């Protein structure tokens, strides 16, 4: 199980103090990383010192680690200051497309044979995420990005207040009624995630007849996800505007904690937030298991975050060695366990999934003897285990109703303006 919040905060404090003292080192001995919060096992930074020394013949390195809460925060920092002092950043796939369009990234170093000079573990990455055909405006994504984590967008909900039938549709979140409308719902403070979910709900009638045809359904989800015309933007704006007055909050990270404490019934969440909440609840609230995750039947988003080297990085060689380090199976598994998200290294996924399937927590009285009866046609304990594992390791059936976010392109400013007006 992952660390509880108090342990994570203690570790973060210790690492931050170490970073302050490490700041006196020469710049070539410092690796500056800018990443999402709660998204890495910070203990690996000490392990990297030894790894780096072995790779470089004894050279020293200290990791200085800063965090942001959403893609837009990170991007705005780069857009307003084209030379921020970071060696690695970890944007989502659509943001990588935008950064490539603006020539903000450096390509990974290649050797004479065309292979990676430093990231020799790249083949450890899940095959779909390292697909050589992935490109944007003629630039191959794999020339610039090393996949780190991936997951889905869906609903984290309290089973005592939200039924299985209710989570079958995004409408329960976007058009809340009854007790849900009494400030018991939270939304991600993310224009992309909100727009994606609201678009699928707005065009739900186009999806209803496709539920029995997974290929057609997936294609339609992607088509809807790519719509950025004025009619779509206006329709989404109306949905989100009506919802805003009934929300508890727009949040980037604290919503999962509010779900654990029982303050909220329902939230738009990334899958890793859901797994974090499951484990935190298991550790802190043993009397009852309340939280579950589901992607509504209309469809959802499958996303990936990758590390990239900014164009003005001052220690790019160290950055690429760190990327190779992140692709080590054991390191990837530790980061997955610490964050709750699904890593991009296939062997780490396979190992951790096998371990979880046999984990003794499934026999715990908190899960096995909840007295909940059946849910979705299964005994609660059986349903809960399947739900947990599908959140972290989505099945083909789940992924078949998910699309991928892309850069909004020329409509980006209009959609961001819409979001500013809604919030």
Query: What is the per-residue pLDDT across 343-385, written as a single tens digit (0 to 9) for each?
Result: 999 999 999 999 999 998 888 777 776 566 777 788 888 899 9
| E strands present in 311-420 | 342-343, 374-375, 378-379, 402-403
Domains, the chain, ranges and CATH?
A: 5-150+303-350 (3.40.190.10), 151-302+368-422 (3.40.190.10)
3-state secondary structure of 266: strand
Residue 152 Cα distances to 82, 113, 140, 201, 366, angstroms? 31, 36, 24, 17, 26
Contact in structure between 194 and 268 (CB atoms under 8 Å): yes
As a whole number of angstroms, the longest Cα–Cα distance in the chain is: 65
pLDDT, position 252: 84
Residue 6 CB burial class (10 angstroms; 0-12, 13-18, ≥19) = exposed
Please name every residue paired with 172 in a beta bridge, in sequence order, or none if there are none. Answer: none
Work out the mean pLDDT of the chain and round it to a whole number: 90
pLDDT, position 71: 58
CA distance 313 to 155: 37
Residue 183, sorted as left (phi over 0), alpha (psi -120 to 50) or beta, turns out to be: left
3-state secondary structure of 289: coil
Return the C-alpha torsion angle 142, 143, 145, 148, nearest 10. Answer: 50
Which positions of the chain have pLDDT values less than 50? Answer: 1-23
**pLDDT tens across 382-397, in order?**
899 999 999 999 999 9
Kind plus residue range of the DSSP H or E element containing 31: strand 30-36
Residue 36 Cα distances to 71, 202, 336, 356, 408, angstroms? 9, 30, 14, 25, 22
pLDDT, position 368: 72
């Amino acid at each position: 199980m992952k660390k509880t919040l108090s342990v994570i905060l203690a570790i973060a404090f210790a690492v931050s103090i170490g970073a302050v003292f490490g700041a006196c080192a020469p710049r070539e001995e410092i690796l500056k990383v800018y990443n999402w919060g709660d998204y890495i096992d910070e203990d690996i930074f000490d392990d990297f010192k030894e790894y780096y020394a072995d790779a470089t013949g004894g050279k020293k390195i200290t990791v200085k680690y800063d965090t942001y809460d959403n893609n837009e925060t990170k991007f705005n920092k780069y857009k307003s200051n084209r030379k921020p002092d970071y060696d690695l950043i970890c944007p989502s796939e659509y943001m990588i497309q935008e950064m490539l369009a603006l020539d903000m990234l450096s390509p990974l170093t290649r050797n004479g044979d065309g292979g990676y000079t430093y990231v020799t573990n790249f083949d450890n990455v899940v095959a779909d995420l390292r697909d050589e055909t992935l490109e944007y405006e003629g630039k191959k994504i794999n020339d610039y990005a090393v996949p780190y984590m991936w997951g889905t967008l869906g609903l984290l909900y309290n089973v005592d207040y939200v039924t299985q039938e209710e989570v079958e549709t995004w409408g329960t979140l976007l058009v809340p009624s009854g007790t849900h409308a009494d400030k018991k719902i939270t939304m991600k403070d993310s224009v992309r995630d909100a727009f994606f979910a609201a678009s699928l709900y707005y065009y739900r009638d186009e999806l209803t007849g496709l539920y029995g045809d997974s290929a057609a359904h997936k294609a339609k989800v992607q088509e809807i996800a790519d719509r950025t015309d004025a009619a779509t933007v206006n329709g989404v704006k109306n949905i989100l505007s009506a919802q805003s007055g009934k929300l508890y909050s727009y949040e980037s990270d604290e919503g999962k904690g509010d779900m654990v404490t029982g303050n909220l019934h329902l939230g738009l969440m990334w899958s890793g937030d859901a797994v974090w909440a499951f484990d935190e609840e298991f550790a802190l609230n043993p009397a009852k298991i309340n939280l579950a995750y589901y992607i509504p039947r209309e469809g959802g988003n499958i996303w990936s975050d990758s590390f990239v080297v900014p164009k003005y990085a001052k220690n790019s060689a160290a950055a690429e060695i760190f990327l190779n380090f992140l692709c080590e199976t054991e390191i990837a598994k530790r980061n997955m366990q610490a964050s709750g998200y699904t890593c991009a290294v296939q062997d780490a996924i396979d190992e951790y999934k096998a371990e979880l399937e046999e984990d003794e927590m499934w026999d715990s009285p908190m899960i096995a003897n909840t007295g909940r009866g059946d849910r979705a046609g299964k005994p609660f304990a059986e349903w809960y285990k399947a739900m947990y594992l599908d959140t972290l390791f989505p099945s083909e059936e789940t992924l078949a109703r998910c699309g991928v976010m892309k850069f909004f392109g020329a409509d980006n400013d209009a959609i961001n303006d819409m979001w500013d007006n809604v919030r």
